[in-house]
Structure 1
C-alpha cells in the first residue's frame, strides 16, 4: 500500500531548478520506482483567437506542447541515470490541479511530488492555489518539497491527533506513522510524534471561581501523553520521541519541526471542501505556511476525491 512505485512529479514551468524532481529521484533510487514528470500548460491567447480555425488552433497547441516537451527533456537529462526511468507528460488544461489529480487517478500513481515556491525577498514560501487544491482534493499522498535537504539520520515529524479516539482518526494516525517508518528506513531517519492539546478555556476559569485550571490542564496533558505513548509503543517508536505540547496544532507542529530541524512533516488532511472548509479551515493549510521543510499530506482511507466523478 505504501510502495512508492509510481511517482508523479509536477514541474514548475517558471524555473530550471526542479526541487521536486531531485527529491523524487532520491525516493526512487532504492525502489527502482518509475517517475513521470508532468506539466500542465494553457495559454488563453490561443483559445481566444477567433481568426484561427479549429485545426490551426490545434496545430499551435501542439507546437507549444512540443516546445515544452523539449524543455522538459533538457531538465530531466541530469536525473535520468542509475536506472531511474523518467517519462514525460505535457497536457493542455486550464486548471492545473484538476489535470494533475485526474492524471494521477487514471494512471494509479502512488505519490504526487510538487515543489513549492520560495520567495527570495523574504524567504517566505508562497503556496499557489494549485498546492491547496492538491492537498484538499488528491486522493493519494502529496509531497510538497522545499529547498531543505534530507540528511542521513535526519528527523521525520508525524503530526498525530490523539484527542479523538474514534476509529477513523486512529486509522489515519496509523497511516501517517506507517508512511514515516517506511521513509525513515530508507533514509535512516528518526521518527518523532507530535500532538497539540487545547489550553484551558478562559470562560471556564472566569465563570467558575473554584475552577482549578492548572489541574484541568495537567489532566488533559496526561491523557494526551498516555495516548501518544501508546501509539508510539505500538509502532516501536521510543517514548522520548513523543512530544505533547499545549497549543494549536498550527503553532505546535512548525515549532517542533524547527526545533528538531526536521526534514519532513507528515500530517493527515481531511480534504473538506465547500463551506465547512472555509469556516473550519484545515490544520494542514495553516501549518504549511510556517513550516521550513517538506510536507507529506495523507488522506484518510476511503477518501473520495470530488474529481473522481469527472
Structure 2
C-alpha cells in the first residue's frame, strides 16, 4: 500500500508580479495566490553597481572574487487575514537546455552550502511581512564559474478530506545567479539568428527568433516586437514575450512573441528587440504572416556590421583607385626622361 503520509507539492515556481518593496529600490516579488490570500518573497536591496540591471531587481545576480562574503536582505510577506508559518531555505538549481530548473525538495549544491539564512522559519502576521537576511560566504578555494540556486519560502498545510494526512506544499522563491572568479564580471552577450512567423493553434500570429548565448554568463532573454509600414500604413505594438528564455553559456533557444489576433497578414516591417538585463540586441526585416499551420522566414534588413563592412570595402576601393590614378599620371611619356 502506498505511503498515505507522502508529501505532495502542488506549486513550485517563480510567478513574476509588478511590485515594489517599500522604502527601498524597486524589487520584484514572487508569490503564490491561494484561497487564503497571497504569500511571497522579494528582494529588499540591489547592489549599487547593478541598479541599472533589471535582472538584479528580480534575482540575486552578482560576480565576486573567491573568499568574498556578502549579504542580501529579503522579505517574506502575506496578504492573508490569518497568520502564516513560512519555512525559508536555499535549494539547488541549474541552467541547461531546459532553462532554469529547480532541484526537487531541499536538494543542495555547492552554492547552497555557501548560503546561510538568519531565519529558517518565520511567523508572518496577518497582512504582514518579515525580513530575512541571506549571507553568502564564498570559500577562498572556490573555482571559477557561475552557480545557481533558489531561496525558497514554503507553506505546508493539511489537505482537506476524510484523512487529512497529506501535506500540501506551496513554495515560491528568488533565483540566485552567482559567478565566481578573479577580475571583473565576465561578459554577457548573445546573438539573434533567424526570425520566423507563424500562428498558434487558435490562429494568433507570432514571431519567433532563434537566439544563442555567446557570452560567459547565463541569460534570461525577453523579446519585444514593433510593427510598422503595414497595410494602409498601419503600425502595431509593442508586443512583449510572456516569459523569459533562460540559456546557459553556449546554449541556444527561441524567444517567441505573440501578436494581436486581429492583425492583417501584411507585409509588415518588424523590429525585434531581445534583452537580458543591461544587454540588448535588435534585428529588423520584413514579414508576411502565413496561414495557420504554415511558417514563413523573415526577410532581414542588412545589419549594422554588414553595412559597416560594405562601407569599409567601398572606401578601400576608392583609396586604391586614387592611388592607381596617381601612379598612372606619374609614369613618363614616350621620349621623356625618366
- Give the alignment's TM-score, normalised by structure 2: 0.26
Higher strand share: 2
Greater RCO, 1 or 2 (C-alpha within 8 Å, sep 6+): 1
Higher helix share: 1
- Give the alignment's TM-score, normalised by structure 1: 0.28
Computing the radius of gyration over CA atoms, which structure comes out larger, 1 or 2?
2
